[in-house]
């Protein structure tokens, strides 16, 4: 049954000293004043937006008391008091984030890249190496989408299970102490309506991992009350069926009031013990929570809460109830608590002011430099009056931001465009330096900048023995995965049907029996938490491979891939990494949901990940070897129709590596360059035979990876020779083919070398109809390629190549 935490007050008084109680009160008051001041800063125009954790202070202090070194948090944007309590956030850092201070020293969580309330600890040293995570309290980097923290919460807890069960990981003591670490998640009551919450809760119950989920229940989701969110109006009521019993595994569930100090402490004490020692997931439903300032600075809760509700919230504010508790139990006098409150307010204000001064001084210094340089240039300019007015206007800006400074400089340079170069040289030089600084402030660390970057992994050529056997492509992958499992205890693979049968295409066949279920694992049908399982494990030093059975099903997980994994390194400015390999299969087969090539969608959504599109399994294996040496997340899309095609078995299966971002010419030719990837490579090679008989010699380039794309600009060198180019793939028109064209024609300046209009060949706008006929009439065929290429040649030389 659902349990409400209760215990003896006398027993609790013995374990919590007066000093501890008053320290908790002081911290709660400091956090509350930070929330109140933060709201005012937004309304004063010193910050863009604010969302705060007022009303949640007491529960978060209780939770923090049982959070240990090595534990991980995956929470949301109201957890400021918890972060204060575990010593991983200061009030000054809290306000630095509110102001968007771009210094990692000022805002360690994100370097000013995230709005306030988004917390993270820095797991990495400046050189990209791991810190000892067992010597610190850890928080994964928050994201805004509601319930988006739940998938990786599962993975963080799953890592503890792996560290406890896998003997090969026992030496990794900087990441785990025999799997004793708890993953602590927090979520608002309304967000428990999201599918990601239910999927993660179910998966954690199946896996039996050490996870504690706290649900802050204030009765609303912005303006919408619980009866619109949750059956029976209570998430713990509807999840009672998860409660474990003597015969069945499941959850431990506690319900506790957010203003009841003693009950909160006992609930979290029990939750931590059960999760840590028994590896049983625990849900703590914290009810009767208030939200004194409403949802955020974007509106007032007086608009949707009744007078009676507002009066109740005022009475049962957790801080007022805590004060009452301290007075009733003789812990302190009213005067002593008033003094603590005054000191807390003064301290919060002092830290807020220090954060603002540090933030504004940086920009004011830049502003002064810019004003002086604009004035100096203006004095020599033929447009003196206009330039000096720009400087004057900039100097009077109230609460300037960096945009004000840079925009003014740019406008001044516009005005002085006809002046001699020496007039504006100093200003231009300063602006160029600022451009470099701003690139680092706002655009760095999308990908790894460490020595472990995939760009630093040296290619090793594949080797074949003279008598190398021809095998099914899936056997090449099987040999690759066998080697990875044998040589790297951090490597593990999981997904639907990956375990016992070795995945639907048999690349892991027999490997679960050889290495055990903790290394090669089946999962239920739950794509988003398969990805979350991988993110959390990768955040804790492991090297997981998460399989999405078919590319068409990646849509389920796209939000988590895009908003969490792909942006992780960027939004922490290099503070965290999760080198997860996502393995899937797509491209040509048959049917609407088994022939997926939504590459344009992935290119636009997954910047921050690597996107590998190998043409065969030998290339795929080489990419996996490369990825295992790098520290970046990647999506690898194998050719769905290639597992039974014959390939030579490499002699150096565990050593050869494919250089990412390096296209390969797979057929040389002089008449036209064809740029493609994946299964289309084979289509192109077949078409080349037909075209050769017509006197057309095509050069086929396999880009191999789309992110990164041709880092050395080698494709333009082919176009210099052929003066014609066709970009071909199976995506929708304007998808990946348009992306490749932009990269080559615009980025590589290939238009200077073209004698014919650059062309694309893509699939139809719809997904392919079922059957071989559906494939033929929906996606580019050999016939389509021949006619497209021939048409380009006809336009350039109609006499030699008459119209078909």
547 token code pair: 């399989």
Helix axis angle, 318-328 relative to 261-278, nearest 10°?
100
CA geometry: angle 276, 178, 543, nearest 5 deg: 110
Task: Provide the sign of the torsion angle of the four alpha carbons 224, 228, 229, 234, taken in this order.
Answer: positive
Radius of gyration of the chain (CA): 30
Q: How far is CA 77 from CA 38, 216, 604, 739, in A?
A: 14, 12, 26, 36
Contacts of residue 768, defined as CB under 8 A and 6 or more positions apart, other chains included, come to 590, 591, 592, 595, 774, 775, 778, 779
Catalytic positions are 594
Nearest to 521 by CA among 585, 199, 555, 513: 513
CA distance 258 to 63: 11
Q: Could you give the C-alpha distances from 528 to 541, 565, 633, in angstroms and in order?
A: 21, 12, 16
> How far, in Å, are 525, 548, 621, 652, 653 from residue 484 at the CA level?
25, 19, 10, 13, 10
CB-CB contact of 776 with 743 (8 Å): no
Location of structure tokens 């008084």: 13
- What 8-state DSSP symbol labels residue 136? S
CB proximity list for 227: less than 8 A, separation 6 or greater:
233
Q: Round to whole Å and give the CA distance between 654 and 484.
A: 7
Name 15's Cβ contacts closer than 8 Å, sequence gap at least 6.
none
Q: How far is CA 569 from CA 123, 451, 539, 609, in A?
A: 11, 15, 11, 10
Instruction: Return all residues near 317 (Cβ < 8 A) that are at least 6 apart.
Output: 55, 259, 290, 292
Tell me if residue 253 falls in helix, strand or coil: strand
CA dist 787 and 778 (Å) reads 16
Q: Which of 39, 46, 38, 37 is nearest to 301 (CA)?
A: 39
The token pair at 437 is: 């600084």
CA 735, CA 740: separation in Å to the nearest integer?
9
Residue 547 C-alpha from the chain's centroid: 17
Whether the CB-CB separation of 258 and 214 falls below 8 Å is answered with no
Phi-psi region for residue 300, left (φ > 0), alpha (ψ -120 to 50) or beta? beta
- The rounded distance, in Å, linking the Cα atoms of 608 and 113 is 15
Burial class, 288, CB count within 10 angstroms (exposed 0-12 / middle 13-18 / buried 19+): middle
160 touches 183 (CB < 8 A): yes
Minimal CA–CA distance to 281: which of 361, 213, 225?
213
**Paired sense of beta strands 138-139 and 672-676, if any:** unpaired
Is residue 580 within 8 Å of residue 156, measured between CB atoms? no
- Residue 650 CB neighbours (<10 A): 21
- Distance from C-alpha of 545 to C-alpha of 579, rounded to nearest angstrom: 9
User: Using CA atoms, how far apart are residues 708 and 468, in angstroms rounded to an integer?
Assistant: 32
Residues 6 or more apart whose CB falls under 8 angstroms from that of 581 comprise 534, 543, 544, 545, 546, 624, 627, 628, 633, 634, 636
């Amino acid at each position: 049954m659902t349990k409400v935490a209760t215990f003896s007050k006398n027993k609790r008084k013995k374990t919590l000293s007066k000093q501890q109680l008053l320290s908790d009160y002081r911290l709660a008051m400091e956090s509350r004043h930070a929330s109140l001041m933060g709201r005012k800063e937004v309304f004063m125009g010193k910050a863009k937006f604010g969302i705060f954790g007022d009303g949640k202070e007491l529960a978060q202090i209780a939770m923090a008391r049982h959070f240990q070194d090595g534990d991980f948090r995956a929470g949301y944007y109201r957890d400021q008091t918890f972060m204060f309590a575990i010593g991983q956030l200061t009030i000054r850092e809290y306000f630095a984030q509110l102001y968007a201070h771009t210094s990692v020293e000022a805002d360690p969580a994100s370097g000013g890249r995230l709005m306030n309330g988004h917390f993270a600890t820095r797991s990495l040293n400046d050189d990209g190496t791991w810190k000892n995570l067992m010597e610190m309290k850890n928080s994964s980097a928050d994201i805004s989408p509601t319930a988006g923290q739940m998938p990786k919460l599962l993975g963080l807890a799953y890592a503890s299970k792996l560290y406890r069960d896998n003997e090969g990981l026992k030496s990794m003591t900087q990441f785990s102490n025999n799997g004793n670490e708890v993953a602590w998640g927090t979520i608002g009551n309304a967000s428990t309506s999201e599918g990601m919450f239910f999927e993660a809760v179910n998966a954690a119950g199946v896996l039996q991992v050490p996870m504690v989920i706290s649900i802050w229940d204030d009765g609303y989701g912005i303006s919408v009350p619980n009866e619109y969110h949750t059956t029976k109006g209570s998430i713990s009521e509807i999840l009672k069926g998860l409660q474990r019993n003597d015969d069945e595994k499941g959850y431990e569930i506690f319900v506790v009031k957010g203003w009841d100090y003693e009950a909160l402490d006992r609930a979290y004490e029990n939750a931590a013990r059960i999760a840590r020692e028994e590896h049983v997931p625990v849900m703590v439903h914290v009810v009767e929570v208030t939200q004194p300032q409403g949802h955020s600075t974007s509106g007032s809760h007086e608009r949707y809460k009744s007078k009676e509700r507002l009066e109740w919230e005022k009475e049962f504010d957790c801080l007022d109830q805590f004060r009452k508790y301290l007075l009733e139990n003789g812990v302190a006098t009213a005067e002593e608590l008033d003094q603590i409150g005054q000191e807390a307010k003064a301290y919060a204000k002092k830290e807020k002011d220090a954060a603002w001064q540090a933030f504004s001084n940086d920009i004011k210094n830049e502003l002064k430099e810019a004003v002086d340089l604009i004035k100096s240039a203006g004095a020599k300019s033929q447009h003196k009056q206009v330039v000096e007015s720009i400087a004057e206007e900039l100097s009077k800006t109230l609460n300037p931001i960096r945009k004000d400074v840079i925009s003014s400089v740019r406008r001044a340079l516009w005005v002085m465009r006809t002046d001699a170069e020496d007039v504006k040289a100093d200003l231009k030089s300063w602006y160029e330096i600022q451009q470099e600084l701003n690139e680092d402030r706002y655009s760095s660390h999308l990908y790894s900048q460490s020595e472990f970057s995939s760009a630093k992994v040296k290619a090793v050529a594949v080797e074949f023995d003279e008598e190398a056997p021809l095998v099914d492509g899936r056997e090449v992958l099987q040999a690759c995965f066998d080697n990875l499992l044998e040589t790297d205890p951090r490597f593990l693979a999981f997904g639907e049907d990956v375990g016992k049968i070795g995945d639907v295409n048999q690349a892991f066949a027999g490997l679960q029996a050889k290495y055990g279920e903790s290394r090669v694992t089946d999962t239920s049908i739950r794509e988003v938490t398969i990805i979350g399982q991988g993110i959390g494990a990768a955040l804790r030093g492991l090297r997981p491979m998460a399989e999405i059975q078919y590319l068409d099903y990646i849509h389920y997980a796209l939000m988590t891939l895009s908003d969490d994994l792909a942006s992780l390194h960027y939004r922490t400015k290099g503070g965290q990494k999760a080198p997860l390999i996502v393995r899937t299969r797509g491209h040509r087969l048959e049917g609407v949901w088994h022939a997926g090539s939504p590459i344009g969608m992935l290119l636009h959504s997954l910047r921050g990940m690597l996107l590998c599109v190998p043409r065969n399994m030998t290339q795929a294996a080489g990419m996996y070897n490369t990825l295992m040496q790098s520290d970046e997340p990647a999506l690898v899309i194998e050719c769905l129709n290639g597992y039974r095609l014959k390939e030579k078995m490499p002699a150096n299966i565990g050593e050869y590596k494919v250089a990412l971002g390096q296209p390969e010419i797979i057929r040389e030719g002089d008449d036209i360059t064809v740029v493609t990837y994946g299964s289309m490579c084979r289509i192109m090679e077949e078409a080349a035979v037909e075209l050769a008989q017509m006197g057309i010699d095509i050069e086929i380039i396999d880009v191999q990876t789309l992110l990164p794309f041709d880092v050395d600009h080698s494709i333009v060198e082919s176009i210099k020779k052929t003066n014609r180019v066709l970009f071909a793939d199976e995506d929708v028109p304007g998808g990946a083919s348009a992306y490749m064209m932009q990269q080559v024609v615009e980025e590589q300046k290939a238009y200077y070398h073209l004698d014919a209009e650059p062309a694309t060949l893509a699939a139809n706008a719809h997904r392919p109809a079922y059957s071989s006929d559906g494939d033929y009439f929906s996606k580019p065929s050999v016939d389509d390629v021949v006619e497209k290429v021939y048409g380009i040649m006809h336009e350039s030389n109609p006499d030699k190549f008459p119209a078909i």
